[in-house]
Amino acid sequence: MAFVELKSVRKSYGSNTVLQDVDLNIEKGEIVAIIGRSGSGKSTLLRCINGLEPVQGGEVWVDGVAVHDPRANLRELRARVGIVFQSFNLFPHLTVERNITLGPTIVKGIGAAQAAVLAREALRKVGLEEKIKAYADELSGGQQQRVAIARSLAMAPSIMLFDEITSALDPELVGEVLLVLEAMAREGMTMLLVTHEMNFARRVAHRVVFMNQGKVWEQGPAKEFFAAPKTEELKGFLSAVLH
């Protein structure tokens, strides 16, 4: 069984179907980029994987946990599945350090001293150790997003989900966040990213998935995927975003 396995997943809001018949496998250590137009269901797909959105049909398996099952222990699952959002979502009333230690201390029951060590370690990975006592409103967007990544990393997840994490950033701040992602890729982290950064996807991802109309429309190894798209829809999309 793959590390993440989606089988015929269906997700709808009322009569509006967002995902239909989605099958997707992700192996441990794999880096998969999801691209597609807005509204194609790519963010929803990501959110179904850690149970932020319940599915209406099909199965979602993550590391042996049946996420689609209403009785699934999502708390335990979320400690192992990190997610980083487009809008950072740091806790503005807490310091950077407390943002990071909240999960480990409360969810995992790790002691304060040990959690502080984890926070420093996670901040070192994103290159922001000196901001440990800062508040979110004292940081740039890129720095906030790196702290958000550190907050996820401190939970020691076995997979990280990234939901368009550079889309809300000023262009000059995108690079520093992508550098952090590349470093994580080199360390062998399993990653699933929804992204608009095509160059990044081509360079870092092992596999790229094109979502269209709520379906996995086309997928393949990054090089071939961009060099020789098969479907008309992907060709159209790529020519629109790559000019």
For other proteins, the binding residues (CB under 8 A) are: 50, 52, 74-79, 82-83, 85, 87, 89-94, 102-103, 106-107, 135-137, 151-152, 155
Find the shortest distance in angstroms from Cβ 124 to other proteins: 20
By beta-carbon proximity to other proteins, the closer residue of 85 and 200 is 85
The token pair that represents 213 in the structure block: 């109309």
Burial state string for 9-31 with b = 16 or more CB within 10 A and e = fewer than 16: bbbeeeeeebbbebebebeeebb
By beta-carbon proximity to other proteins, the closer residue of 157 and 214 is 157
Comparing CA positions, the residue from 206, 202, 209 lying closest to residue 42 is 209
By beta-carbon proximity to other proteins, the closer residue of 147 and 177 is 147
Find the shortest distance in angstroms from Cβ 168 to other proteins: 11
Provide the pairing of β-strand 4-13 with 16-26.
antiparallel
By beta-carbon proximity to other proteins, the closer residue of 82 and 229 is 82
Find the shortest distance in angstroms from Cβ 240 to other proteins: 29
Find the shortest distance in angstroms from Cβ 140 to other proteins: 16
The three-state secondary structure class of 179 is: helix
